[in-house]
Each structure stands twice: as structure tokens, then as C-alpha cells.
């Protein structure tokens, strides 16, 4: 798998996270640094997601909920459902990230450090998430110690 690092223009575009648990919340934490146009779809949501204030659609997944979205994150704990979300989104030509399954992703999320308008993104192409996070944290620490505020 070869992933091209890009920065997508998401101005005026909506993002859907399918899932209501910990992985969905982690994706939300990253995405909220860049946009508030995020909705979450799941029959049940964690307390953290409820407290986040983001739009929640408390329903079982159906392809009809993909309408109007630009990016889709499949973050359920059901591999078959995540595969179905990917298949449905492909039919609608939507970009899809299937959590913890880089082989079935149109894109993967980098480990990101954002300060103001500056963004540093580190990726291992989905091969070593732990090392990616370590590198991101090292870069973050270095920048915080050596760059002007």
C-alpha cells in the first residue's frame, strides 16, 4: 500500500463518523481541530461523544446516511459492518477511512500536531502506529522547545 500525504480542503464539506465508542471519539478529537462540520452515527454513544456537543444520529447504519458527506470514517467494532460501510461509500464515490484496517482505506489519518495554522503530520502508511505517534510527540516536543511562540 502506498499512501500519498495530502492536505484536503474541507471548507464547507461534512464528515461522517460511523461509530459511537472509543475509536470514533479518537477520530473526533483529531477532526475537531480542523472543522466543526462533523456528525456521528451509531445506535449508542459513549459519554465522551455525548459531552462533545457534536451532531449525533442515534440510528443503526444505513447507506442513506452517507448522503451529503465528503469523508466517511468507519469506526465500529464490527468488521463486517465496516466493510459494508466502505462498499456503500465506494458506490457513492466518497473517501473512506476504515479504522484499524489500512488495506481497506482510501486514506489514512496521520499522527498530527497542530499549532495555530501550522500542521505537522507523521505517517508510517499504517504499518507502525506506535512509532508514528512517538515521532509526532518527539517533533512536538522539539518544536515547543525550539520554535518561537
Structural domain boundaries enclosing 132: 111-146
SS3 category, 91 = helix
User: Is residue 42 located within the same domain as residue 94?
Assistant: yes
User: Is residue 124 located within the same domain as residue 79?
Assistant: no
141: Cβ–Cβ under 8 A, 6 or more apart, which residues? none
pLDDT in tens, 6-50: 889 999 999 999 999 999 999 999 999 999 999 999 999 999 999
pTM of the model: 0.90
Q: Give the model's pLDDT for residue 36.
A: 96
User: Is residue 99 located within the same domain as residue 120?
Assistant: no
Q: Is residue 59 part of a domain?
A: yes
User: Is residue 20 located within the same domain as residue 85?
Assistant: yes
Mean pLDDT of the chain: 94
Q: Give the model's pLDDT for residue 86.
A: 98
Percent of residues, the chain, with pLDDT higher than 70: 99
Q: Is residue 38 part of a domain?
A: yes
Looking at residue 49, which CATH number applies to its domain?
3.40.50.720
User: Is residue 52 located within the same domain as residue 79?
Assistant: yes
CA distance 44 to 59: 8
Q: Is residue 5 part of a domain?
A: no
Q: How many degrees, rounded to 5, is the angle at CA 120 between CA 119 and CA 126?
A: 125
Q: Is residue 134 part of a domain?
A: yes
User: By the 8 A CB rule, do 112 and 33 touch?
Assistant: yes
Percent of residues, the chain, with pLDDT higher than 90: 77
Question: Which residue is associated with the grid cell 518527539?
Answer: 138
User: Is residue 97 located within the same domain as residue 139?
Assistant: no
Q: Is residue 10 part of a domain?
A: no
The pLDDT of 122-134, averaged and rounded, is 89
Amino acid at each position: 500500500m502506498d499512501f500519498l500525504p495530502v492536505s484536503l480542503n474541507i471548507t464547507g464539506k461534512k464528515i461522517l463518523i460511523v461509530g459511537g465508542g472509543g475509536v470514533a471519539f479518537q477520530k473526533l478529537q483529531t477532526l475537531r481541530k480542523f472543522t466543526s462540520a462533523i456528525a456521528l452515527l451509531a445506535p449508542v454513544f459513549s459519554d465522551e461523544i455525548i459531552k462533545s456537543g457534536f451532531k449525533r444520529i442515534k440510528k443503526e447504519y444505513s447507506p442513506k446516511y452517507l448522503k451529503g458527506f465528503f469523508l466517511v470514517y468507519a469506526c465500529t467494532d464490527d468488521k463486517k459492518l465496516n466493510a459494508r460501510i466502505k462498499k456503500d461509500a465506494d458506490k457513492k464515490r466518497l473517501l473512506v477511512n476504515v479504522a484499524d484496517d489500512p488495506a481497506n482505506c482510501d486514506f489514512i489519518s496521520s499522527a498530527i500536531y497542530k499549532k495555530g495554522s501550522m500542521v505537522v503530520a507523521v505517517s508510517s502508511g499504517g504499518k507502525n502506529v506506535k512509532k508514528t505517534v512517538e515521532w509526532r510527540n518527539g517533533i512536538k516536543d522539539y518544536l515547543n522547545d525550539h520554535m518561537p511562540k
